[in-house]
A and B are shown apart, each in its own frame.
Chain A
Amino acid sequence: MTNYLLRRILYALPILLGINLLTFSLFFMVNSPNDMARMQLGEKHIKPAAIEHWKAQRGYDLPLFYNDKANGIAQFSQTLFFQKSLRLFVFDFGVSDAGRDISHDVSQRMYPSLAIAVPVLLLGMAANILFAMMMAFFRSSYLDLTGVIACIILMSISTMFYIIGGQYLFGKVLRLVPISGYDTGLNSIKFIILPVMVAVIGGLGAGSRWYRTLFLEEMGKDYVKTARAKGLSEVRVLFRHVLKNAMLPILTGVVVIIPSLFMGSLVLESFFGVPGLGSYIIDAIQQQDFAIVRAMVFLGSVLYIVGLILTDISYTLVDPRVRLK
């Protein structure tokens, strides 16, 4: 097990290096720091001195890979690639183009994101499983058919519609919850309810339809026949036998996103004015702050890879037949 984990982590390194190279080439080689400076400073006829000043302030005035002006190890360390990309490996995100410390911002904004993402994940999974179980229980009846069609209709509605519709109905017409905003501590609950509800309903269509297929696939197997032959009730068969076995593919989809929950949801957070990492990214995109986008790409990839490793571990917990070697 330890051996396996060690090997997986070692495998992750070249992948992270590849991601690093990719973002580096996107942000520094396709566009030189000069272009970036011109874009930020805005004007077409701008003095070269201003560009140099902007670059020097943010440390963009170094060569890409090799610094021939420096000596020794500094020939490689005093370069953009080392300073801006390799440092991400030790989670040193540096300073954003606007001059703020990215690591500090991330550690602050992580919690609002989690406060929304965790309930969405848990409630969403519960709702999906219940709805899918209902369809599986009444399989090939009109109730099942209606359920599937409802799922397809739910899937076809844009996320933005759920958000805007929810804000309008519950925030503006019924005045049950505030339309957007955030607060600290327990006061934040009234701000969290609506986004969580919207996200759960938005994911219900695709999720429960997929779970229904999984359940129906399991129900065709022999052990279900055995369980029924033993005289177990259908509900017991569904929840005790089918659900347990269908958990394996469900886990693949769920565990992998658990670490990424920190990142929050871009659209949801920005619509509801939640100061999480999702709205952080949106703000960075709108202000063209490349330093933040670069850091977030790296962080997101690391979390995804951690999620993949966690998925493998969770298999051994759910399915005793799986052994990691």
Chain B
Amino acid sequence: MSIELLWTDQCFLLVLVISFAVFIRSARRAHVRRAFQQIFNKPIAVSASLILLFFLIIGVLDSIHYKTATEHQVQSLLDRILAPLGAEYEKTYSAPLALTLYTTETMIVDGDARQVYPRLQYPPDDLKNNADVRQLVRHVLLLAALVSLLAVIVLWLGLVLIRRRYQRGLQSILTSARASALITLFFCFTALLASYWLSRELHLFGTGKIGQDIFYYAVKSIRTGLVIGILTTLFMMPLALLLGISAGYFGGLIDDVIQYIYTTLSSIPGVLLITASILSMQTYISSHPDQFTTLAQTADARLLALCLILGVTSWTSLCRLLRAEAMKLREIDFVLAAQALGSSSFKIIFKHLLPNVMHIVIITLVLDFSFLVLAEAVLSYVGVGVSPLTISWGNMINAARLELAREPIVWWPMMAAFVFMFILVLASNLFADAVRDAFDPRLSR
């Protein structure tokens, strides 16, 4: 077994490590700590960030790929946890928690041909009929709820005990923020445990056209969504920071050139620029097959290129904001003092300007995240999103359009994709709201 990280894995983990380091470093400053305290005192923000954390953990588990010793296949830790879901295929569609296929087949039963719904291969034999399934679901839900309740109570008691050791007195054991954190944790644990246990026995969200497990696909898509939301910022930030601050700080010719570049880029309608870049990149990949040996590598290269292109097309708005802020800061006394004392421009930008524009960067990044997750679905529909081989919500929705026209209707693949996407985007929107309230100096006054 050897670890084999794809390009996007490396970038994704790198970004997480960097942002964690930056978070730890900046948490030492009083005003940053105050902003975070403000976020974590809001019940909604706490719940949202916990849900995001759960998504992030799943994304990280899915980003650590390794080569299995026996099969010479690259799979992720998440595949290992969910196995054998990724490898089990039914014949075709089956409804959520069903025991039989969704379509009839002609079979010889007791000597004559009959139209029957064939049984699925995945559910174990001791589940005989739907009553058994209902009992199993009830049982699993109850058990999951009990276990999570226990876990949450133990966690809370542990935290209370730790606090009592260091701070005398029982001040505010259960604030509203903490209560909502515990409730969210309870629901997350329950959902996690129940879906995991049920997925051992049944296809939780049914199966798709080629018999793939929809639950597995929806969970695997989390990584794609996170990679697009997070990696795009990796490519966007350096461009926007460097160009925006230097345009605002230096002014003159540099300002003119940078303004020209971003006006040109932002004049092109976003979707069309992305389309143009992706189309020309597709042609490049298909005419250079020697550089991309495996299908997984091609799909991965396309995902990375999509992030790069989204980054290049979306840095302009942040750049404009940063330029305006840098122009304002340039005239403020502490910058003038630093100039008078003979600091180099480089030092002024890094020590004096950068920390003072960070709030804009943070607010823009969290606001962009949910936009990017939603954009992936639209781009995949247009045909310029991730590669058709990559498991993503956009591809699931795209495939599901034909299924809705079927009679009887096949709704579960699309619904699963929408619900997962909705939870992630809603959590990040609520979180972004709290971040904006906490970091925007105009609002805190």
Give the contact stretch, choosing among A54-62, A96-104, A297-305: A297-305
Would you call A300 and B272 a contact (CB within 8 A)?
yes
Q: Do A31 and B284 have beta carbons less than 8 Å apart?
A: yes
Does residue B221 face the partner (Cβ distance < 8 Å to A)?
A: no
- From A35-43, A73-81, A132-140, A192-200, the one touching the partner chain is A35-43
Is A91 in contact with chain B by the CB < 8 A criterion?
A: no
Cβ-defined contact, B283 with A31, below 8 A: yes
With A158-B397, A296-B272 known as contacts, the answer to whether A304 contacts B422 (CB < 8 A) is no
CB of B382 within 8 A of chain A?
A: yes
Would you give the 0/1 interface string for B395-425, flagging 1 where the beta carbon is closer than 8 Å to chain A?
0010001001000000000100010011001
Known: A158-B421, A267-B381, A282-B382. A293 touches B279 (CB 8 A): yes
Of the four ranges (under 10, 10 to 19, 20 to 34, 35 or more), the interface on chain A belongs to: 35 or more
For residue B121, CB closer than 8 A to chain A, the reply is no
Q: What per-residue 1/0 map shows which CB atoms of A179-216 lie under 8 Å from chain B?
A: 00000000000000000000000000000000000000
Asked whether, in the complex, the Cβ of A27 is within 8 Å of the Cβ of B267, the reply is no
Q: Is the CB of B280 within 8 A of A15?
A: no
Q: Are the CB atoms of A18 and B264 closer together than 8 Å?
A: yes
CB neighbors of B among A71-112 (8 A): none
Contact A156 B429 (CB under 8 A): yes
Query: Is the Cβ of B287 less than 8 Å from the Cβ of A293?
Result: no
Q: How far is the CA of A14 from the CA of B418 in the complex (A)?
A: 43
Cβ B283 vs Cβ A153 within 8 A: no
On whether the beta carbons of A159 and B283 are closer than 8 Å, the reply is: no
Q: A159-B374, A164-B404, A168-B404 are in contact. Are A35 and B287 (CB under 8 A)?
A: yes
With contact pairs A27-B280, A31-B283, A297-B272 given, residues A267 and B378 touching in the complex (Cβ less than 8 Å): yes
Within 8 A of B (CB), among A138-163: 152-153, 155-161
Interface check A286, CB cutoff 8 A:
yes
Q: Which residue of B lies closest to A40 (CB)?
A: B283
Q: In the bound complex, do residue B287 and residue A31 qualify as a contact, i.e. CB atoms below 8 Å apart?
A: yes
CA distance A159 to B268 in the complex (A): 22
Residues from chain B with Cβ under 8 Å of A285 in the complex: 275, 279, 382-384
In the bound complex, residues from chain A placing their C-beta under 8 Å from that of B418 are 157-158, 160-161
Residues in A with CB closer than 8 Å to B4 are: none
Q: Nearest-CB distance from A205 to chain B (Å)?
A: 9
Q: How far is the CA of A254 from the CA of B422 in the complex (A)?
A: 27
- Assess whether B252 is interfacial by the CB under 8 Å rule: no
Judge whether A22 is part of the interface by a CB distance below 8 angstroms: yes
Contact residues in B for A294 (Cβ distance below 8 Å): 276
Interface residues of A in 249-268 (CB under 8 A from B): 260, 263, 266-267
* Docked pose: A71 CA to B408 CA in angstroms: 68
A30-B280, A31-B287 known; A157+B422 contact, CB < 8 A: yes
Give the contacts of B267-301 with A (CB-CB under 8 A). 267-269, 271-273, 275-277, 279-281, 283-284, 286-287
Complex: A293 Cα to B382 Cα, angstroms = 13
Query: Which of A26, A156, A267 sits near B280, CB closer than 8 Å?
Result: A26
> In this assembly, does B377 line the interface, its C-beta being within 8 Å of a C-beta of chain A?
yes
Residue numbers in A under 8 Å from B421 (CB-CB): 158
The CA of A16 and the CA of B264, in the complex, are separated in Å by: 7
Given contacts A35-B283, A35-B287, A293-B272, contact A158 B374 (CB under 8 A): yes
* Contact A158–B377 (Cβ < 8 Å): yes
Check A26–B284 contact: CB distance below 8 A: no
Bound Cα distance from A14 to B378, whole angstroms = 32
**Is there an interface contact between B276 and A27, defined as CB atoms closer than 8 Å?**
yes
How far in angstroms is the closest Cβ of chain B from A137?
21
Which of A39, A260, A282, A305 sits near B283, CB closer than 8 Å? A39
Contact residues of B between 315 and 370, Cβ < 8 Å to A: 370
Are B267 and A304 in contact, CB atoms less than 8 angstroms apart?
yes
Asked if A267 meets B272 with Cβ closer than 8 Å, knowing A15-B260, A156-B429, the reply is: no
Contact A38 B276 (CB under 8 A): no
* Contact in complex: B383, A286 (CB < 8 Å): yes
**How far, in Å, is A268 (CB) from chain B's closest CB?**
11
Q: Say if the beta carbon of B433 comes within 8 Å of chain A.
A: yes
- Does B263 count as interface, using CB distance less than 8 angstroms? yes
Least CB distance from B271 to A in Å reads 6
A288 at interface (Cβ–Cβ under 8 A)? yes
State the Cβ distance, B246 to closest chain A Cβ, in Å.
20
Which of A168, A286, A297 has the most chain B CB atoms inside 10 A of its CB? A297
B82 at the A interface (CB under 8 A)? no
Cβ of A305: which chain B residues have Cβ within 8 Å of it?
A: 267
A115 within 8 A of B: no
CB of A23 within 8 A of CB of B374, answer no
Rounded to whole angstroms, the CA-CA distance of A261 and B438 in the bound complex is 37
A281 within 8 A of B: yes
**Which of A167, A294, A300, A305 is packed against the most chain B CB atoms within 10 Å?**
A300
Interface string of B33-77 (1 = CB under 8 A from A): 000000000000000000000000000000000000000000000
Q: Which residues of B contact A19 (CB under 8 A)?
A: 264, 267-268
Chain A: minimal CB distance from B358 (Å): 22
A66 at the interface (CB under 8 A from B): no
Query: Chain A's nearest CB lies how many Å from the CB of B18?
Result: 27
In the complex, residue of chain A having the shortest beta-carbon distance to the beta carbon of B272:
A297
For the complex formed, measure the closest distance between the CB of B265 and the CB atoms of chain A, giving whole angstroms.
8
Contact between B264 and A15 (Cβ–Cβ < 8 Å)? yes
Please state if A300 and B268 are interface contacts (CB–CB under 8 Å).
yes
The docked-state distance in angstroms from the alpha carbon of A168 to that of B374 is: 21
**Contact A18 to B381, CB < 8 A, known contacts A152-B426, A300-B268:** no
In the complex, the answer to whether B279 meets A290 with C-beta atoms within 8 Å is yes
| Min C-beta distance of B269 to chain A, whole Å | 4
Starting from the known contacts A158-B374, A160-B397, 13 additional A-B residue pairs (CB-CB under 8 Å) come to A19-B268, A26-B280, A31-B283, A35-B286, A153-B426, A155-B425, A156-B425, A158-B421, A160-B377, A263-B269, A285-B383, A288-B279, A300-B269
The residues of A with any CB-CB pair to B shorter than 8 Å are 14-16, 18-19, 22-23, 26-27, 30-31, 35-36, 38-39, 152-153, 155-161, 164, 167-168, 260, 263, 266-267, 281-282, 285-286, 288, 290, 293-294, 296-297, 300-301, 304-305
Closest 8 A-B residue pairs measured CB to CB? A18-B264, A156-B426, A300-B269, A156-B425, A31-B283, A35-B287, A301-B267, A26-B280
